């Protein structure tokens, strides 16, 4: 079991972490026809927007309540009201989803109360769903913001409808923020191939999958619909992907009595064996032939690839669920996790196959990688400077990934995704293998010193 | 009134800012940042603006005092280039937690400065204030003062919390920090009659380096660039320059004007975008230096350089002129860049079907009118939906804008070119003009357009 340590520095150097509200806003983007709003000063929204735009290379709907110093001190009721009315007028979304920021939390705005007041004052807003989640910047991290936002959405919009009947084939697929749009699409395919009908929440696979729509929309396009939210309680089970989604699964259970299972990761052979066996069990359908075939392809890839992974020391920095997923799988491939850094606490950290997990920054990761003589660095794009300095291969994982195309289409779950990952990282390791030179195996200085003492060199001038 | 409020007031009353001078005293008190509309606002905060303006000083450590939002979500997102030291690319933040919010984060800030000086030994540390720590009342000025005294190194407070206003205000507050704590604190090793400052140029994608060879050829020395590819000592000694150029923006007008007032350094406002403007700026630099006592032959050398370089540029552009004549551009930029890019594009015969003037000053608008002949194509506020419609209906052939709106064009299956901070190409000087035009050409004539616009065979 890994020891969990918190970096004791006063200054974070090269942050690995991003803020809670950004994670929450990202979750909101997985809702259909939604306008996410950060309740705070406009800079927070602007930074969040730029970051998501650079990652997905997509237009990102995201708004701000544009708080200034005065409104921060007086309280944000008026700004929230104006924001809601403005957004409804300009974008006509189905859902306006609000998260707080450090600024408004420091003041202590009671946004839920504001929203109740706004509803009373503006009966014409009845056709627009509103949701709110508290996500101060100075606690938690991106993943926490995502998790809280999904739970808040369920509690705000997932109330069981009167007369709701359980649907025999319907399941809830609660997706953590470490899953890319491509990952979610893959999981949906797998689930559907068992004859099950998944409601994916949040579903960034249809809103941020990089497609060309026929029209321009100021809100998110694609994602979980309000109708689906209202039907969550009719599912036979909730499948949570990532420990971060446990609270959301519990929320559905509390509201509607739907039981749940948590899969803490879906990268790797055994992890997927368990997943498919479970789907076979809930659906009563046999595992489709194509997954049997994919499984054997994965086995073959593991055999081909293990030469290059075996013994490689890896330094990895990622949010808890992604950290567990990748580090556990890399360890299964024969790597050694020489340094693991994450952003926030989580029960999964205990299970990371490393001696220690540091809650820290990329400076901790870089130093740890150096100490461990790591042969591979895994983290988001901000790690590229460290990788350059360390002269080791660099695999980008997580968000932001702004210096590569197709961040949303990176696939690393399922048999097929795992196989792809073996090829991708395996090729990096393969390319980094260096050709030997005559200097590679020089005798150590100690040997030479000992030799010099034993046989003083003749005829050398001092 | 707090120190920050006083500073903001001072910046608002900037006498060199025409926009301000046109207002009544009462209007001026209200400040130049319009109340932003909640739910319909876009753009960065004052902290963002301050960081943009100062981060190009490459050898100092830039420490952001606040929760992870401000630095964690934003670091490493611009391309100000450095010719050497890379310290500025490291993201430093106090990443304050709940306890710091309750009990105050000054101790953490002090320790953070100490750690950074011990580990990285930069010539100075710049400390940026943000919303939360400003609201909880952390006195960064006091902490910086104590830290400077203790560690014997300049620790510079940049008091520009996000909620103070928009990006542009942040640029100016950053300038104030330089004026108050940096400029004039170090003497240059030597001076020459050919020393200038360039103010408000951030060396994005290395644009400064498209200019320095021209200045070198003239025999002009850039004593300091504020702040692109800047070194702390250079900026600290910039008060010995003979003249300043303020680069095509009002962002740091306060720095230029106060340096004139305090040290007698005359300045002019110029642009390095477009052939005509580059030549003009070089001429002005030479003229000011001569006026300040440099030998008159500098003028002749400058004219000779302009003649040769302009001719070389035009001959390189000839190829594109044919291909680009009559192409229509929709230009969505921050106000200041509008006129200078408009002029540049018109030089090769491109038609401007619209240019945003949302952030432009009255003077900017006058310039555009001068260049374009009327105001018909000035767009005050265009919604993304309208931009999309305009492109979709092919009323423009290409859109030039910042990165955030690129997808409006791309989703309409129309070409787009980045002309904002995040861009990777350098467009300054004669050289940059050729790059800009060739990039537009490359975007317009890419064969993908034909393919992506064609319907699917089953449609
Ligand atoms: S608005 Fe305030 S809290 Fe948000 S990024 Fe800017 S300085 Fe930070």
Which chain A residues have a beta carbon less than 8 Å from that of B37? 66, 82, 86
pLDDT in tens, chain A (462 residues): 899 999 889 999 999 999 999 999 999 999 999 999 999 999 999 999 999 999 999 889 999 999 998 898 889 999 999 999 999 998 999 999 999 999 999 989 999 999 999 999 999 999 999 999 999 999 999 999 999 999 999 999 999 888 889 999 999 999 999 999 999 999 999 999 999 999 999 999 988 877 877 777 888 889 999 999 999 999 999 999 999 999 999 999 999 999 999 999 999 999 999 999 999 999 999 999 999 999 999 999 999 999 999 999 999 999 999 999 999 999 999 999 999 999 999 999 999 999 999 999 999 999 999 999 999 999 999 999 999 999 999 999 999 999 999 999 999 999 999 999 999 999 999 998 777 788 878 888 888 888 888 876 665 554
Assign A454 to helix, strand or coil: helix
B166 and B274 in a single domain? The answer is: no
Assign B245 to helix, strand or coil: strand
Residues contacting residue A75 through CB under 8 Å, at least 6 positions apart:
A107, A109
- Residue A350 DSSP code: G
Residues contacting residue A234 through CB under 8 Å, at least 6 positions apart:
A164, A165, A166, A167, A170, A256
Assign A64 to helix, strand or coil: strand
A196 within 8 A of A125, measured Cβ to Cβ = no
Nearest CA to ligand 1 atom 8: B70
pLDDT of residue A462: 45
Is residue B429 included in any domain, yes or no?
Answer: no
Q: How many CB atoms lie within 10 A of CB A405?
A: 9
B162 within 8 A of B130, measured Cβ to Cβ = yes
- Per CATH, which fold does A20-157 belong to? Rossmann fold (3.40.50)
Assign A137 to helix, strand or coil: coil
The end-to-end CA distance of chain A, in Å, is 57
The domain locations on chain A are 3-9+292-432, 20-157, 170-206+219-287
CATH number at residue B107: 3.40.50.1980
Which chain B residues have a beta carbon less than 8 Å from that of A85? 39
Site to probe by mutation for ligand 1, drawn from A15, A18, A47, A71 as the one with most ligand atoms within 8 Å of Cβ, is A47
Give the pTM: 0.92
Assign B331 to helix, strand or coil: strand
- Residue A139 DSSP code: S
Query: Maximum CA pair distance of chain B?
Result: 75
B127 and B252 in a single domain? The answer is: no
pLDDT of residue B404: 77
Parallel/antiparallel/unpaired status of strands B328-331 and B398-401: parallel
Atom of ligand 1 nearest to the CA of A44: 4
pLDDT of residue A457: 61
Residues B335-383 pLDDT 10s: 556 666 777 788 888 988 888 776 666 776 777 777 777 666 777 777 7
A282 within 8 A of A171, measured Cβ to Cβ = yes
B252 and B336 in a single domain? The answer is: no
Containing structural domain, residue B141: 41-182
Rounded average pLDDT over B10-26 = 65
Rounded average pLDDT over B236-257 = 92
In B52-71, the residues whose Cβ lies within 8 Å of chain A are: 63, 66-71
B81 and B108 in a single domain? The answer is: yes
B162 CA → ligand 1 middle, Å: 4
Nearest CA to ligand 1 atom 7: B162
B279 and B335 in a single domain? The answer is: no
A209 within 8 A of A274, measured Cβ to Cβ = no
* Among B386, B393, B359, B357, CA closest to B374: B357
pLDDT bin (cut points 50, 70, 90) of residue B394 is confident
Query: What is chain A's Cα-based Rg?
Result: 25
Question: What is the H or E stretch that residue B109 is in?
Answer: helix B106-120
Residues contacting residue A229 through CB under 8 Å, at least 6 positions apart:
A153, A154, A157, A158, A201
Q: How far is Cα B404 from Cα A89, in angstroms, rounded to an integer? A: 22
Q: Is the CB of B70 under 6 A from ligand 1?
A: yes
Residues contacting residue A332 through CB under 8 Å, at least 6 positions apart:
A268, A269, A270
Q: How far is Cα A297 from Cα A291, in angstroms, rounded to an integer? A: 9
B352 within 8 A of B342, measured Cβ to Cβ = yes
Q: At what angle do helices B275-291 and B429-444 cross, to 10 degrees?
A: 170
Parallel/antiparallel/unpaired status of strands A12-13 and B92-93: antiparallel
Angle at A342 between CA A337 and CA A346, to 5 degrees: 105
Six-digit token pair at A137? 């910047």
The answer for B415, left when phi > 0, alpha when psi is -120 to 50, beta otherwise, is beta
Is residue B170 included in any domain, yes or no?
Answer: yes
B166 and B203 in a single domain? The answer is: no
The interface predicted TM-score of the complex, written ipTM, equals 0.90
The count of domains in chain B is 3
Is residue B187 included in any domain, yes or no?
Answer: no
B185 CB-contact burial (10 Å; exposed 0-12 / middle 13-18 / buried 19+): middle
* CATH code at A170-206+219-287: 3.40.50.1980
Beta bridge partners of A336: A313
B286 and B406 in a single domain? The answer is: no
B308 and B366 in a single domain? The answer is: no
Which chain A residues have a beta carbon less than 8 Å from that of B31? none
Q: What is the dihedral of CA A62, A67, A72, A78, to 10 degrees?
A: -90
A377 within 8 A of A392, measured Cβ to Cβ = yes
Beta bridge partners of A340: A316, A357
B337 and B213 in a single domain? The answer is: no
Angle at B254 between CA B249 and CA B256, to 5 degrees: 75
* Among A368, A337, A372, CA closest to A351: A337
Q: Does B386 touch chain A (CB under 8 A)?
A: no
Q: How far is Cα B286 from Cα B305, in angstroms, rounded to an integer? A: 12
Nearest to B92 among A11, A53, A385 (CB): A11
Cα of B109 to nearest chain A Cα, Å? 7
Which chain B residues have a beta carbon less than 8 Å from that of A12? 68, 71-72, 91-95
Is residue B164 included in any domain, yes or no?
Answer: yes
B77 and B161 in a single domain? The answer is: yes
β strands within A84-234, DSSP E: 95-100, 129-133, 170-175, 197-201
Q: Do domains A3-9+292-432 and A20-157 have the same CATH topology?
A: yes
B336 and B296 in a single domain? The answer is: no
B366 and B416 in a single domain? The answer is: yes
CATH number at residue B309: 3.40.50.12380
Nearest to B403 among A21, A53, A213 (CB): A53
Is A3-9+292-432 a CATH 3.40.50.1980 domain? Answer: yes
Tokens 């804008």 correspond to what residue? B401
pLDDT of residue B136: 94
B158 CA → ligand 1 middle, Å: 14
Q: Is the CB of A195 under 6 A from ligand 1?
A: no
Cα of B40 to nearest chain A Cα, Å? 7
Nearest CA to ligand 1 atom 3: B131
Q: Which residue of B has its CA nearest to A83?
A: B39
Nearest to B45 among A15, A37, A42 (CB): A42
A80 within 8 A of A111, measured Cβ to Cβ = yes
């Amino acid at each position: 079991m890994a020891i969990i340590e918190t970096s004791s520095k006063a200054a974070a150097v090269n942050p690995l972490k991003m803020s809670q509200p950004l994670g929450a806003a990202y979750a909101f983007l997985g809702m259909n026809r939604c306008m996410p709003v950060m309740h705070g000063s406009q800079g927070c929204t602007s930074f969040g927007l730029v970051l998501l735009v650079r990652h997905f290379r997509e237009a990102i709907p995201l708004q701000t309540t544009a708080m200034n110093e005065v409104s921060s001190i007086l309280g944000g009721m008026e700004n929230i009201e104006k924001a809601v009315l403005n957004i409804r007028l300009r974008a006509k979304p189905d859902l306006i989803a609000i998260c707080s920021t450090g600024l408004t939390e420091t003041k202590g705005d009671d946004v839920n109360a504001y929203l109740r007041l706004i509803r009373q004052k503006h009966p014409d807003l009845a056709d627009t769903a509103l949701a709110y989640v508290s996500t101060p910047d100075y606690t938690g991290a991106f993943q926490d913001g995502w998790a809280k936002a999904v739970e808040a959405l369920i509690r705000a919009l997932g109330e069981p409808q009167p007369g709701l009947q359980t649907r025999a084939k319907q399941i809830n697929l609660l997706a953590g923020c470490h899953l890319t749009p491509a990952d979610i699409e893959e999981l949906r395919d797998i689930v559907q191939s068992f004859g099950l009908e998944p409601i994916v929440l949040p579903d960034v696979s249809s809103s941020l999958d990089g497609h060309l729509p026929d029209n321009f929309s100021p809100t998110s396009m694609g994602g979980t619909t309000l109708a689906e939210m209202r039907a969550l309680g009719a599912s036979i089970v909730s499948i949570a992907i990532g420990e971060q989604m446990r609270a959301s699964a519990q929320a559905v259970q509390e509201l509607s009595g739907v039981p749940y299972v948590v899969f803490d990761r879906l990268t790797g052979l055994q992890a997927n064996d368990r997943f498919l066996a479970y789907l076979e069990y809930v659906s009563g359908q046999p595992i489709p032939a194509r997954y049997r075939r994919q499984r054997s392809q994965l086995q073959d890839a593991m055999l081909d690839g293990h030469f290059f992974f075996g013994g490689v020391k890896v330094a990895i920095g990622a949010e808890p669920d992604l950290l567990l997923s990748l580090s556990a799988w890399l360890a299964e491939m024969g790597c050694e996790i020489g340094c693991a850094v994450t952003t926030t606490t989580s029960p999964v950290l205990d299970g990371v196959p490393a001696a220690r997990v540091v809650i820290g920054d990329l400076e901790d990761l870089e130093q740890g990688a150096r100490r461990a003589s790591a042969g591979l660095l895994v983290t988001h794009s901000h790690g590229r400077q460290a990788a350059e300095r360390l002269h080791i291969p660099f695999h980008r994982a997580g968000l932001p990934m702004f210096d590569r195309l197709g961040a949303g289409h990176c696939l690393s779950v399922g048999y097929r995704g795992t196989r792809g990952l073996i090829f991708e990282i395996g090729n990096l390791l393969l390319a980094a293998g260096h050709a030997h030179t005559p200097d590679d195996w020089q005798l150590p200085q100690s040997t030479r010193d000992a030799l010099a003492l034993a046989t003083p060199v003749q005829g050398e001038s001092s | 009134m707090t120190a920050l409020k006083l500073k903001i007031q001072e910046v608002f009353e900037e006498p060199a800012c025409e926009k301000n001078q046109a207002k009544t005293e009462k209007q001026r008190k209200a400040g130049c940042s319009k109340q932003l509309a909640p739910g319909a606002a876009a753009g960065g905060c004052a902290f963002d603006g301050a960081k943009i303006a100062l981060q190009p000083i490459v050898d100092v450590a830039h420490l952001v005092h606040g929760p992870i939002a401000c630095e964690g979500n934003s670091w490493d997102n611009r391309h100000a280039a450095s010719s050497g030291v890379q310290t500025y690319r490291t993201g430093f933040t106090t990443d304050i937690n709940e306890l710091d919010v309750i009990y105050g984060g000054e101790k953490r800030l002090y320790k953070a400065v100490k750690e950074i000086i011990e580990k990285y030994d930069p010539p100075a540390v710049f400390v940026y204030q943000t919303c939360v720590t400003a609201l909880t009342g952390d006195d960064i000025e006091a902490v910086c003062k104590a830290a400077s005294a203790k560690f014997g190194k300049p620790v510079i407070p940049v008091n520009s919390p996000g909620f103070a206003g928009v990006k542009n205000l942040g640029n100016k507050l950053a300038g104030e920090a330089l004026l108050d704590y940096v400029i004039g604190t170090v003497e240059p090793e030597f001076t020459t009659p050919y020393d200038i400052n360039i103010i408000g140029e951030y060396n994005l994608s290395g644009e400064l380096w498209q200019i320095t060879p021209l200045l070198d050829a003239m025999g002009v020395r850039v004593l300091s660039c504020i702040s692109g590819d800047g070194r702390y000592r250079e900026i600290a000694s910039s008060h010995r320059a003979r003249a300043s150029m303020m680069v095509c923006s009002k962002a740091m007008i306060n720095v230029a004007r106060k340096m004139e007032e305090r040290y007698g350094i005359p300045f002019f406002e110029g642009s390095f975008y477009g052939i005509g403007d580059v030549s003009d700026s070089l001429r002005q630099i030479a003229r000011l230096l001569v006026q300040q006592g440099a030998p008159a032959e500098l003028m002749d050398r400058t004219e000779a350089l302009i003649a040769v370089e302009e001719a070389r540029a035009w001959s390189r552009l000839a190829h594109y002129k044919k291909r680009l004549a009559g192409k229509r551009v929709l230009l969505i930029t921050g106000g200041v860049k509008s006129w200078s890019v408009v002029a540049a594009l018109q030089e090769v015969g491109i038609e401007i079907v619209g240019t945003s003037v949302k952030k432009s000053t009255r003077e900017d608008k006058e310039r555009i009118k001068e260049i374009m002949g009327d105001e018909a194509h000035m767009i005050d506020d265009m919604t993304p939906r309208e931009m999309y419609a305009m492109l979709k209906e092919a009323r423009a052939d290409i859109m030039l804008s910042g990165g955030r709106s690129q997808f409006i064009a791309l989703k309409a299956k129309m070409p787009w070119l980045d002309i904002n901070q995040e861009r990777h190409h350098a467009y300054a000087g004669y050289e940059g003009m050729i790059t800009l035009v060739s990039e537009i050409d490359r975007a317009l004539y890419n064969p993908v357009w034909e393919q992506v616009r064609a319907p699917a065979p089953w449609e």
